[in-house]
Amino acid sequence: MMRGMEEPEEPVARGPLSGCLVADFSRVLAGPLATMLLGDLGATVVKVEHSRGDDTRQWGPPFKDGESTYFLSVNRNKRSVVLDLSSPEGAADALRLAERATVLVENFRPGRLAAFGLGFDQLAEVNPGLVYCSVSGFGGAGTPGADLAGYDFVVQAMSGLMDITGPAGGPASKVGVAVVDVLTGLYATIGILAALGARRDSGRGQLVEVNLMSSALASLVNQSSAYLNTGAVPHAMGNRHPSIAPYETLATRDGVLAVAAGNDGQFRLLCGALGEEGLADDERFATNPARVAHRDALVTLLEERLAARPTSEWVEVLRAANVPCGPVNDLAAAFDDARRLGLDAVLEQSGTTGGVLSVSNPLGLSGSPVSYRRPPPPLGHDTEEVLEWLRTPHPTAPLDPG
């Protein structure tokens, strides 16, 4: 299914962050993802860009109607304003925006915005309720890593994520998307929402700090825990799980099948569906620790049976037996599956340069749903409107979130 702006307009529900003004001084991915999510939740987001625009505007191909699809992925529900922070006028306008903002998000080099009068301590004096979120690569101002540039690819390498990704015994591999940036953006969003919750009680904002390296290490969850608690250093295992079997891709007659038998009961169901009930009682495979210890032998036996049919048939058989499984899709097949499953995964918006497709926000809120009010903006599209509002000493109305 596809949500589209071409449908008859309905009143936009008041989002949980309606009335919240977000000053977005971030660029590339982690910060812009966080501010887009805040915008989806009803906040009014003003994206401040330099004259060249967010770096991702030039990251292509591919392009859609002249705009980078990378930029389009994380910049809906925003206004674009071009400001030169190095000029007195631009710095003054930026300060006006920060003084009126509820939230400010930035990912400049730590301490850099303070040179323009836009550091947290400076703004807390004039806007004590401001929630100020700083996103960095390796830590905030005053830390040894403050001067290091933070790029997802470098952090994937440094955090150990690349070392546990890819084929066993093969070269370290990055994940196929900037997953550390995405996770950091999600952590930033959580921190901002927590600070807004605390603000309701205290009336005061606070500094929220998040960095790519810490976000990556925290997101390694069981792998980090295994190392910290046992000293064992995990390495890449391909599609295998270090602690569960079978929890991997298995060869079929015409391809591979992802199977996730996460407990003994599911393994017994798998064996029954394959017509190999005796495997569940074999002492080598009767428990998960035993299956992990004898994984190679188990996989050989399973793949001998799976070779009898193509992947599509096994998916039907195993799902009918309540065995978690699925095909290994490319993106086209993935969106087809989402549509067949009845998920509203795709959003269509009409913009100044044509139609824009993006992935819908996955949050489902029954009382205060997310909303899609603005497509990703062309560079500087809203400069005049926003500056007029900022330069009005006492505006009678807030900046319209729509």
Q: CB-based contacts of 362: which residues, under 8 Å, 6+ apart?
A: none
* Distance in angstroms between the alpha carbons of the first and the last residue of the chain: 24
Query: What is the rounded distance in angstroms from the CA atom of residue 321 to the CA atom of residue 333?
Result: 23
Largest CA distance in the chain: 79
| Those residues with Cβ within 8 angstroms of residue 223's Cβ, 6 or more apart along the chain or in another chain | 160, 164, 234, 242
User: How far is it, in rounded angstroms, from Cα 66 to Cα 325?
Assistant: 40
CA atoms 338, 402, 17, 190: torsion sign? positive
Q: Which residues of 294-305 are buried (b: 16+ CB within 10 A; e: fewer)?
A: bbeebbebbeeb
- φ, ψ for residue 346, nearest 5 deg: -120, 135
DSSP state for residue 11 in the 8-state scheme? P
Q: Is 181 a catalytic site residue?
A: yes
Q: In terms of C-beta density within 10 A (0-12 exposed, 13-18 middle, 19 or more buried), how is residue 88 classed? A: exposed
The sheet that has 325-327: what strands, in order across it?
247-251, 256-260, 325-327
Contact 84, 50 (CB under 8 A): yes
Cis-peptide into 61, omega within 30 deg: yes
Identified catalytic residue from 24, 54, 93, 181: 181
Catalytic residues: 181
